[in-house]
Structures are given as C-alpha cells and as structure tokens.
Amino acid sequence: MESALTARDRVGVQDFVLLENYNSEAAFIENLRRRFKENLIYTYIGSVLVSVNPYKELEIYSKQQMERYRGVITSFYAVSDNTYRAMRTERKDQCILISGESGAGKTEASKKILLYYAVTCPANDHMAALGDRLLQSNPVLEAFGNAKTLRNDNSSRFGKYMDVQFDFRGTPVGGHILNYLLEKSRVVHQNQGERNFHIFYQLLDGGDDNLLSTLDLERNPQNYHYMVKGNCPRVSSINDKNNWKVVMKALPVIGFTEQEKLLNIIAGVLHLGNTQFGEGEEGETYITTETQIMTLAKLLGVDGSALREALTHKKLTAKGEEMISPLNFEQAVCARDALAKAVYGRTFTWLVEKINQSLSSKDSSVIGLLDIYGFEVLQHNSFEQFCINYCNEKLQQLFIELTLRSEQEEYETEGIAWETVKYFDNKIICDLIEEKHKGIISILVCMSSYLERLVIHKLANGKTRRVMSREEFRLLHYAGEVNYNVNGFLDKNNDLLNRNLKEVMCQSDNQILSHCFRKEEVIDQKRQEMAATQFKNSLMKLMEILMSKEPSYVRCIKPNDAKQPGKFDEVLVRHQVKYLGLMENLRVRRAGFAYRRRFEAFLQRYKPLCPETWPNWNGRLVDGVSLLVNHLGYKPEEYKLGRSKIFIRFPKTLFTTEDALEAKKFIKGFIYRHEEYCPENEYFLDHVRYSFLKNLHKNLPKSVLDKSWPTPPPSLVEASEHLRRLHMRNMVIKYCRRVQPEWKKQMMQKVVASEIFKDQKDSYPQSVGRLFLDSRLEREQINLKVVQTLGNDKVQYGVSVIKYDRRGFKPRPRQLLLTNTYAVLVDRTKIKQKIDYTALRGISVSSLTDGIFVLHMPSEDNKQKGDVVLQCSHVIELVTKLAMMANKINYVNISPGSIRFSMARGKEGIIDFVRGSELKVAKGKRGHLLVVSQQLSRCHVGSLQGGEGVLLLKTFQPADCVQSDFTPQTAPRNSTT
C-alpha cells in the first residue's frame, strides 16, 4: 500500500479525511480530478466509497486483481470484502447502498460487487449455476426496465434492491430482488429525444419475420403510437438486434418457459397504443380500429367484445346497484393508456417474481445491494421526479443518521469524547412529504386541486413569482431547491384502472395476465391505493430492511455528460458532490479525529522512528504507542488514546510522521540496498520494485516485434526476465487467437518450409514472401476420368511437373496430384504411377537454385521402376506440402553436391549439381545426370531440348521476386513461389 506522502504528492489522497483543507469544496473536487486522471477512480471518506465512472474497462476488474486486492483497505473491493467478512464473523446481515445520478455507474458498480463475490467466495456446482442465472437476469431486467433518456442511453427506470443469500460456509446460494416504482408512464409517453423501454425496440429489430408476422407487427417503430413520442427510434450506442439475441438466450437460463405468452403481451401493448377512438354526435365514444381490437384481444387472450365495451364504458356501483356509463373521448384515451401501463407494470413485477423463483434459497445470511435511481432535477419535474427525489431524501436521512450513529458508537466504545456536529436535518422535508393527514402524499389522496395548500402564489415575493408559475410548487431538498409542475400529477398518482377493464383481464387465457390480474381484486370493493401511497409504503418497508442490516455506502459520480473517458467536468461534479452530501459526510467524519488505527497496526508501521520500540516492543500495546508518539513530539491536542485505537485529529500530524518514516526508511535502505532483503532495506527495495513495476506496466511492448524492455533494478533481474517471457508469450497467444484458419494454415506450411530449407537451399529466401497456394491446377485442368478413378480420394493439391525417365533422362510433362493417402503422376487422361505415402522412403533436393527433386521408392519397387526424378517450378511449395501430407518432414534430404537414386532393375544413378555460367541439365560422360545451376538477374524458369538428348534447364531468380511483407489478405490467387 502506498504511503500517505507518496499518494498525496502524485495523485492526491486515498481518503478525503486526510485532506489538509477538508472544508474546501474546491480541494475536494481537485483531489477527485487528480485521481481520476490517473485512473484511480475510487476514493474513500472513512468507510464511504466515492466512485467516479471511468466510462471504460479497467484492469483492476480481472480475477487476478480481485484476489490481489482482498483485504486492501484502499481498494474498490474493500466494500465488498469488508461486508462479506463482517457477515461471516459477526453473523449479522449487511447491505451496500449504491447511489448517484443516472449514468454515474450505479448498476455497473453492483455488477462488479456481485462479480467479486462470484470470484472470491467458496464455490460449488450450485454456485456456478446460480452465478449464471444472476448474470443472465441482468439483460432481462435491463430490457424490460431500462430505457434511453436524455442523460443515459441505458437508464434504469426502476429501483432495485437485491439480497444475495449465503450458506454457513459463506458460499452464495441464492438471491431475491425487490423492485420499486417502475416508470410505467414511459410506456405511453416519452419526452423528446427519449425512448420507450428497450424490449419494444429489441422485438421489432431482432425478432424474425415469422415471429413478427405471428404478432401482426411491422419492423418500423414509427408505426406505433407508443414509440413515436420521443422521436428517437435508433440510438448509435445501442444494438437492439444483438441485445434481442442476448435476452432470448437468457430467458431459458433463468427458467422461463412462457416466452410466447410474454411476447404476446409486449406486442399487445403496442397494438393497444394503436387503438383509436371516434366521437359520435351525442358525445358517445366508439373504437375506429376494429381490426386492431381483434388482434389485441387475440394477443391478450381476452374476449374482443368485452374488451371493446370496457374501453368505451365504465362500471359504477351506487347504493348496491350496478350501472354502465359511457366514457367521453378523453376518458377512453385515459382508460386505454391506464390499461397499457397496468399490463406492462404488472408483467414486469411478474418477471421479477420469476427471476426470484430461479434464485430462491432458504439460507438466512444475506448481503443486500441497493441500486436506486439518483436525485433528479430536470427542466420540467413531474410526479416521477417527485417520487425519485422523495426516495433519495429518505436515503439521505438514513445515511446521515447511520453515519452519525456509527461514528458516535466508535467513540463511545473507545472512550473518546464526542463533539456535536451541525448538519442539515432533512427530517422536516421528509415529514412535509409523508406526514399523515398533512403531508403532500396525503393531500394528493384527498384533493383534486392542492396547489394552494403548498405554495400560495399571491403571497410569494416578486423573485419567486418570476421563476415559478401557478402550476408549480417548490421543495427545499437536501440537494437543493426543486420546482415541481403539477400538470399530470393527479393522473399519474391515481393510476386507476376501471373495474370493468380489470374484469376483462381477469378472464384472460394468457397465464401471465391471469396471474397478474386476480379475481379477488374485482370482488374487493376497497378503493385502490394511489401510486404515491404505494410507493411511500414500499419505501417504508425498504427503510426497515436497511435499518435491520449493517450498512456500507458507495457514492457514484458521473464525470461528464458525454460519457467520454478521461473528461472531467468540474461544474457537473460539483453539483453531484453537493446533492450526494459528500462534504457534509466529510465534516461528520472529521468532527472528531481524522485518522484512527489499532495500536498494533500503528506500532508495526512507525516503530522504526523510536529507539525504544525498534525493532520490537514486548510490553503493553498502549504503552508502546504512548512512548512512540511522545518521542515524535505529538502535542496533547493532536491525538487521543482509546481502549484499542489511537485517534489523530489533524492530517498534518500524520503526514509529518509519514515523512519521517519515508526519510528513515529510504536513507537506511539506500545504504543496505546491495544486501539481502532485511528490515533495514525492505521499504527501500519495495519502493524500487514498485516503481519499476509501475513503470513497466505503463511501457509494456504492444507488439511481438517490439523487443524493448525497461532495465530492471538488480533485485528484479530474474523476475523481469520471467515477466518479459510471460508477456511475449501472452502477446503471441493473443496474436495466434486472432489468426484466421486460412492464414493459420499458410503460416504452418511456411514454418515447415523454414525447418526444411532455411540456410539449406539457395532459392529459399526468394520463396519466403510468396504465398503457398491450395493448388497450382484449376479444377478443369484435371481430367474428369482421373478424378473418377480416384473416387473418394479427393485431390488436395495439384501441380505441373517434368518427369525424367530412366532411359536417357528424357523429359516427360506430367501432373503430380496429392491426395490424403498417396500421390499420383498423371499423363493427360491416365494415371501413370501411384506413390503411397507410407512406402515413400524419402525426398531429396539439391542445395542450389533448381527445381529437381527425387522421390525415393521402396526396394521391392526399385526392381521394376526405381526412384522418381522430377522437376517443378514451385519445388519448395510442393516438397513442403508433400512432406506434411506424407508425414515425412524429417525424411527430406538436401544435398550440396550429388544425389544418388535407384534406377530400373536395381541399378544406381547419380545426379551431380554444380555451379556454372549457364544453367543446364545434361547426361554426363559417366552416365550421371549433370545439373549446372547459375543464379541470374531475371525471374524466369524454362526448358528446351538440347542436342543429343541433353535437357537444358535455365533458371533466373531476380532480386525483385522477394516481397518484404507476407500479407495473405492482399496476395493474388495465382501468385508464384
């Protein structure tokens, strides 16, 4: 772990409590900025983690890094690790509260915490299946509960609390999700530049033609009333088609067997939005889209006539008598939209229940994760922002209360006097919203017009009148003032579904809808709770859950609105620091003492600074700490000794101690730097090693061709070389994994050619830059009769060759065809000779620039025909392929002088190779075949018949035949070797 001085000088402090000017918001933000620029996105306020979204993947999320950071108190994983250890040792349920505005990384933070438990906790087969279900539940929940908003392309439009359940061994064995306040109004209306829930776009873009035809849907989202309001059908950062595949793959993993019924509901919502109404002369309302209503009835599994009646009439009960009353045009539209919201909202709740069934376990030890919507201040704030901000107000109240309580409990436990801290008590705002009979929620329930009860416009001062309309009221939240527009408040709060629509849905033969709309609901005559009341009650239950657990906190910050890595918008960050209450939290933490550490840890770190505690202290810990701080000159007002901890009031005191420690360790360490690792040099050597490894991390070679490597210190020479080999190996592995099959095949052949010919044959260098082709003969060049004769033995490679007979070495044009088991020599339409690979004794070539090679046949064949002497313009390519297919790579002989071969009737022949002024092949005086080879300046291979039966070969190999880059992607099909 870095020292406080090193961290402060380079990238700020790892704990805001150690800031010199802790009351300065500017210093707070500057510390965030400096760390963010170094990819150090996690900083603490005591035990509270502040996380800045990097908008990119960091290396700290690998399995190896997670294992490395276990127990390191300054890492992101400390929150995960500490809660897990506390649950195991104290047997008390824990919870992690993740907060921040949309796009700050809350959902990603919760995923990383779950991943940490999956990687580091004890594992079994059940956990692997559970982890898969947890992983697959995310895309499903995001598809049905997330949407593109102005601030975030993948914004969670619901609150989520998840309990991760552990058995007695500490193994995760289950989970349970509670969902809060799905933004159902988004189903029927979206603001300009926003979209409906992802699943609608995924279905239209990813569903196949047969599915869309079955659902009577078209691909164009602009054809659907519920998808055109935001005028944003496509988003560059979202691939709806791919996401659809992910969701469809995930559903079976988490136990879904009702995909068809689920998709019928989603399609039904779209058709419901396209249901249109007309108005008669007497004000009666009727449906103008009869075809639409029948399709809708079929998808929802209900009676079409009953649905038509329920959308245009409402059922009333007065004095025990039931009456049917027609709806006017506006009421019918509201009834249609209310049904769409109810169907989608209840289906989402059913979806969460199904996920819970796949994750359920009876084990009682849990760690809860709260991923809730962040505080919102938009240009126009309506009912949804009111509920979201009320939720954040309650969480802030809980946060302050628990933070103060835990701080006070620690001081009381250690016997340290507590100093009262002034802070904004937002209980007054919570009461204003939720107080019984008087609060805003109660007023919403009993009044149709309530603005006058909240803000009396005519009594407001001139400044307030100018910024507030008569349709607005203002609340002074902990994060600042917010004006709420009351237009639509009551409609969204009522969220009431006509009784006769409920009756129709209760009769659905779609099992999902019949589960979501219970018959008991129709029989119960009690007035349905309004949305705000339901949300208030669910929020109270959430507070009870959180109060019953030991809390930890993650405060997420969005560094910029463009979602751009490396960009830090100070104005935006300052706004979030304010509404997250981070400065207030820091003041609470610093109210007493900025720094605290257990006696044994303090002694272990700073004992070298005092002769009486170095190298070891064997007395009482408190006495040793007392001696140490007295030797360092601590003043009484700078510290207090508790029962098991030392409390230091000012960061400056700690920094001075750290400076002294670094100076002592570095000086002594430098003197002993060449000695074996010992207490005198351990800090110095650790620092040197750390500095080298950090520098190495930033300067690792990016290519297998880059041979640079930082020079290591003497103590790391062996480790550095090991790391260099590992890194090179990893780069090679990554490179090989990217290689396409055809390119891999080409490279394998080239490697074999190198093993055989490199530094052995003169013409090899000119062949390196040229591709080996699959065949040198087109299909039509091979006679059909030959192909039929070969039968199932398919030709793998073919090339034109010249065969020299054993009677005067007369040249004969032939085709050499290679199959998987043998080679054949073909003369036009006839197979002249079959060469079985298993019988092939070897292959001989010369070391000079010519195309001659000899195939050595078995001795029993030698009595009849002898070895085969051939010439080919692509000898390196041909011999390489033949050697690989025959598995005779080690049987290739390269001769610098002559080649002996068997002739007919047991006779032996000899080919002599010499250099000369002119390339030729001739029969010598002793009956040898003489090949004279000369490397010339132009690239041409040809042959002509010389006098007296002498074969004359001319070979030309130019310098421009060599290609500097071996690039199979661009090489022509008929390139030559």
Q: Please say which residue of 439, 471, 486 terminates a domain.
A: 486
Please indicate whether residue 681 is annotated as part of the active site: no
Q: What is the DSSP letter of 307?
A: H
Spot the catalytic one: 12, 103, 368, 642: 103
Does residue 621 sit within a domain? Answer: yes
Query: 60 and 69 in contact (C-beta within 8 Å)?
Result: yes
CB 374 within 8 A of CB 102: yes
Task: Based on the fold, state whether residues 781 and 876 are members of the same structural domain.
Answer: yes
Note whether 800 and 908 are same-domain residues: yes
Mean pLDDT computed over 833-862: 87
Residue that is last in its domain, among 436, 459, 486: 486
Lowest mean pLDDT among 250-264, 287-301, 315-329, 411-425: 411-425
Range of lowest pLDDT (33-42, 228-237, 309-318, 821-830) = 309-318
Domain presence at residue 335: no
Contact 227, 196 (CB under 8 A): yes
pLDDT in tens, 416-443: 877 666 666 778 888 888 888 777 877 7
Place of tokens 């979206």: 190
Domain span at residue 887 reads 761-934
Which range (401-415, 670-684, 729-743) has the least confidence?
A: 670-684
Same domain? 768 vs 881:
yes
Query: Of the listed 31, 155, 498, 844, which one is catalytic?
Result: 155
Instruction: Give the tokens for residue 88.
Output: 């195991």
The answer to whether residues 919 and 871 belong to one domain is: yes
Instruction: Please state the rounded mean pLDDT for residues 939-968.
Output: 33
CATH code for the domain of 766: 2.30.29.30
Statement to judge: residues 644 and 608 lie in one domain? yes
User: Based on the domain organization, do 775 and 918 belong to the same domain?
Assistant: yes
Dump pLDDT digits (tens) for 262-286. Answer: 999 999 999 999 999 998 877 789 9
CATH number at residue 474: 1.20.58.530
Percent of the chain with pLDDT over 90: 32
Q: Which residue has the higher pLDDT, 357 or 47?
A: 357
Report how far apart, in Å, the C-alpha atoms of 544 and of each of 99, 537, 706 are: 18, 11, 60
Q: What is the 3-state secondary structure (H, E, C) of 624-647?
A: HHHHHHHHHCCCHHHEEECCCEEE
CA 233-236-242 angle, 5° bins: 85
Helix (H) or strand (E) holding 174: strand 172-180
Report yes or no on 118 lying in a domain: no
pLDDT above 50 for 564: yes
Among the candidates 486, 512, 534, a domain finishes at 486
Half-sphere exposure of 240 (CA within 13 A, CB side): 26
pLDDT score, position 903: 84
Buried/exposed code over 344-355 (b: 16+ C-beta within 10 A; e: otherwise): bbbbbebbbebb
Alpha-carbon span 397 to 691, nearest angstrom = 44
Residue among 31, 110, 152, 426 flagged as catalytic: 152
8 Å CB contact between 469 and 366: no
Residue type present at position 974: N
Residue 466: the pLDDT is 54
DSSP symbol at 526: S
Residues 6+ apart with CB under 8 A from 379: none
Residue with tokens 């981070």: 582
β-pair type (868-871, 797-804): antiparallel
Q: Which two tokens stand for residue 564?
A: 């751009």
The alpha helices in 415-488, defined as continuous H runs, are 427-434, 440-446, 451-454, 462-467
Q: Are residues 658 and 716 in the same domain?
A: no
> Are residues 482 and 394 part of one domain?
yes
* Residue 851, in any domain of the structure: yes
Token pair belonging to 132: 């898969």
User: Would you state the pLDDT for residue 894?
Assistant: 93
- More confident of the two residues 445 and 231: 231
948 a catalytic residue? no
Instruction: Please tell me the least confidently modeled range out of 372-386, 444-458, 613-627, 671-685.
Output: 444-458
Alpha carbon distances (Å) from 31 to 13, 34, 563? 7, 5, 21
374 carries an active-site annotation: yes
Contact 220, 321 (CB under 8 A): no
Tell me the torsion sign for CA atoms 117, 118, 120, 123. positive
**927 in the Ramachandran plot: left (φ > 0), alpha (ψ -120 to 50) or beta?**
left
Same domain as 769, residue 720:
no
Name the active-site residue from 374, 581, 642, 851: 374
- Share the mean pLDDT of the chain: 82
At 91, is the pLDDT very low, low, confident or very high (cuts 50, 70, 90)? confident
Question: What span, in angstroms and rounded, lies between the C-alpha atoms of 856 and 835?
Answer: 10
487 noted as active-site residue: no
Q: What is the DSSP letter of 938?
A: S
Q: What are phi and psi for residue 111, nearest 5 degrees? A: -65, -40
Type of residue numbered 948 = E
Contact 901, 844 (CB under 8 A): yes
Residue 456 pairs in a beta bridge with none
Annotated binding site: 100-107
Domains: count for the chain? 4
Whether a cis peptide bond, with omega within 30° of 0, leads into 615 is yes
Tell whether 777 and 833 lie within a shared domain: yes
Single out the catalytic residue among 75, 120, 156, 862: 156
**Helices (DSSP H) in 680-740: which residue ranges?**
682-698, 717-738
CB of 550 closer than 8 Å to CB of 86: yes
Cα end-to-end span (Å), the chain: 59
Residue 175 known to be catalytic = no
Domain presence at residue 272 = no
Could you read off the pLDDT of 485-525 as tens digits, one per residue? 877 777 777 667 888 899 999 999 999 999 999 888 777 66
Helix or strand (DSSP H, E) at 662:
helix 651-671
Tell me the C-alpha to C-alpha distance, in Å, between residue 570 and each of 34, 45, 835: 12, 19, 79
Residues 798, 723 share a domain: no
Q: What are phi and psi of 186, to 5 degrees?
A: -65, -25
- At 5 the pLDDT is 41
Determine the pLDDT at residue 387. 85
Could you confirm whether 103 is annotated as catalytic? Answer: yes
Q: Does the active-site annotation cover 500?
A: no
Rg (CA), the chain: 41
102 classed as catalytic: yes
| Pick from 196, 52, 192, 103: nearest CA to 557 | 52
Give the range among 106-110, 421-425, 599-603 with minimum mean pLDDT. Answer: 421-425
> Which secondary structure element, helix H or strand E, spans residue 834, and what is its range?
strand 830-836
Q: Does some domain include residue 36? A: no
- Residue 6 in this model has a pLDDT that exceeds 80: no
Q: What is the pLDDT of residues 857-869, one digit of tens each?
A: 887 644 557 899 9
* Helices of type H across 194-328: 198-206, 209-214, 240-253, 259-273, 290-300, 304-312
Q: How far apart are CA 455 and CA 470, in angstroms?
A: 9
Tell me the β-bridge partners of 956: 940
Annotated binding-site positions for ATP: 100-107
Q: Assess whether 644 and 722 both reside in one domain.
A: no
Amino acid (one-letter) located at 116: Y
Residues 6+ apart with CB under 8 A from 947: none
User: Is residue 819 a part of any domain in this protein?
Assistant: yes
Catalytic-labelled residue, pool 107, 243, 510, 844: 107
Q: How far is CA 630 from the centre of its chain?
A: 52
Considering the domain boundaries, does residue 203 fall inside one?
no
| CA 148/CA 157 separation, integer angstroms | 9
Helix (H, G, I), strand (E, B) or coil at 185: helix
Which residue would you say has higher pLDDT here, 103 or 292?
A: 292
In this prediction, residue 458 carries a pLDDT of 43
Q: Which two tokens stand for residue 459?
A: 């009594």
